[in-house]
Amino acid sequence: MNILDFNYIVLPLAGIVFILVAGIILILKRQEIRERRRLSAYLRGKAKQRELTESQLSNLNHLFENKSLDKETYERLKVIVQMNGEKSEETVEILSED
């Protein structure tokens, strides 16, 4: 192998390989950061929805304890609030997948 072969073939190829590997690593890091942000947003949305559902259930319990609601109405409203919370959680999951 001639010294000119090394300067004109091997060194440029090594440079190209280095640039390609660095590019791949950069792209993977960016993708990892996006995934973390998406997961964080998903968890925040889910926690917010859970807090809202718990708040609504606590308001229902308060009304029931103050005799503003009868037992039958309380049970029906409780089921409705729980179903609404489940639907909202599903919506948060679907939105976070995009």
Single-letter code of the amino acid located at 91: T
Contact 95, 44 (CB under 8 A): no
Q: What is the pLDDT of residues 31-63, one digit of tens each?
A: 999 999 988 988 888 888 889 888 988 988 888
Domain assignments of the chain as residue spans, ordered by start: 3-97
Per-residue exposure over 58-73, b if at least 16 CB sit within 10 Å of its own CB, e if not: eebeeebeeeebeeee
Contact 74, 64 (CB under 8 A): yes
What average pLDDT does range 8-23 have in this prediction?
93
Cβ neighbours of 78 (radius 10 Å): 16
Asked if pLDDT for residue 73 goes beyond 70, the answer is: yes
Confidence tier at 18 by pLDDT (50, 70, 90): very high
| Res 21: pLDDT | 97
